[in-house]
Structure 1
Amino acid sequence: MTAKIEISGLTKQYGNNVVVDGLDLEIDSGEFLVLLGPSGCGKTTTLRCLAGLETPEEGSISFDGEPMFDADARVNVPPNKRSIGMVFQSYALWPNMTVRKNIAYPLKARKLKDALNSGRVEEAADMVDCGHLLDRLPSQLSGGQQQRIAVARGMAARPDLVLFDEPLSNLDALLRDQVRTEIRRLHDEQGFGAVFVTHDHSEAFALGDRLAIMKHGKIEQLATPQDVFDHPISEYVADFIGMSNRLELHRSGLEWSTAAGTELELRSDTFGHQAVSARLWPDDITLHRPDEDVSHQEITLDAVLLSAEFGGRFYHVQVGAGPEEYRLRASAAVHGDWLRRSKKGEPVVISFRSESLKIYPLSTEDSAR
Structure 2
Amino acid sequence: MTSQFKVSGLNKSYGSNVVVDELDLDIEEGEFLVLLGPSGCGKTTTLRCLAGLETPQGGSIEFGNKTVFDASTKIDIPAHKRNIGMVFQSYALWPHMTVRDNITYPLKVRKLKKAISDGSVEAAADMVDCGALLDRYPSQLSGGQQQRVAVARGLVAQPDLMLFDEPLSNLDARLRDQVRSQIHQLHQRIGFTAVFVTHDQAEAFALGDRLAIMKSGRIEQYDAPEHVFEMPASEYVAAFIGMGNRLELKRGHEGWKTNAGDGIDLSGAVVRDRADEGTSAVARFRPDDVFLHESLQDVPVGNVPLHAELVDYEYAGRYFDVSVKTGTEPLALRAKASEHGARLRQMTPGAPLVISFSPDSLRVYGEPNGSAVAEPDLVAAGSGGTAS
TM normalised by structure 2 equals 0.91
Moved over 4 A (4+): none
Instruction: Determine if contact 2:234/2:369 at 8 Å carries over to the other structure.
Output: no
Instruction: Give the match for residue 272 of structure 2.
Output: 269
Structure 1 residues 201 and 105, CA, compared in 2 at 3 Å: closer, same or farther? same
Q: Is residue 217 of structure 1 aligned with residue 230 of structure 2?
A: no
**Match status 1:297 vs 2:302:** yes
- What is the one-letter code of the residue matched to 1:182? Q
Question: Which residue in 2 is equivalent to 1:278?
Answer: 283
Q: Which residue of 2 aligns with 1:152?
A: 152
Q: Distance in 2 between matches of 1:3 and 1:103?
A: 29
1:348-363, aligned counterparts within 5 Å? 348-363=353-368
Match of 1:243 in 2: 243
CA displacement at 1:292 relative to structure 2: 5.3
Q: CA deviation at 1:365?
A: 8.9
Q: Does 1:344 align with 2:349?
A: yes
Q: What residue ranges of structure 2 are gaps of 5+ in the alignment?
A: 372-388
Q: CA deviation at 1:173?
A: 0.7
Structure 1 residue aligned with 2:320: 315
The 10-residue stretch of structure 1 (282-291 or 256-265) with the greater mean CA deviation from structure 2: 282-291
SS in structure 2 at match of 1:250? strand
Q: Secondary structure at the match of 1:4?
A: strand
Alpha-carbon distance in 2 for matches of 1:22, 1:203? 26
1:254 paired to 2:254: yes
Structure 2 CA distance, aligned partners of 1:254 and 1:117?
A: 78
Aligned residue for 1:57?
57
**Cα distance change on mapping 1:341 and 1:31 into 2, 3 Å:** same
Q: CA deviation at 1:297?
A: 1.8
Q: Which moved more, 1:343-352 or 1:207-216?
A: 343-352
Q: Percent identity?
A: 61
SS at match of 1:67: strand
Q: Is the 8 A contact 1:3 1:63 kept in 2?
A: no
Between stretches 107-116 and 190-199, larger displacement belongs to 107-116
Q: Provide TM-score, normalisation by structure 1.
A: 0.96
Letter in 2 for 1:7: V
The alpha carbon displacement at 1:84 in A equals: 0.5
Over 3 Å counting, the alpha-carbon distance change for 1:364 and 1:53 in structure 2 is closer
Q: CA deviation at 1:256?
A: 1.3
CA distance in 2, matches of 1:71, 1:159: 24
Count of matched residue pairs:
365
> Which residue matches 2:99?
99
Instruction: Give the aligned CA root-mean-square deviation in angstroms.
Output: 1.6
Matches within 5 A, 1:100-115: 100-115=100-115
Unaligned runs of 5+ in 1: none
Q: Is the 8 A contact 2:251 2:275 kept in 1?
A: no
2-side partners of 1:132 and 1:31: how far apart? 30
Contact 1:10 1:20 in 2 (8 A): yes
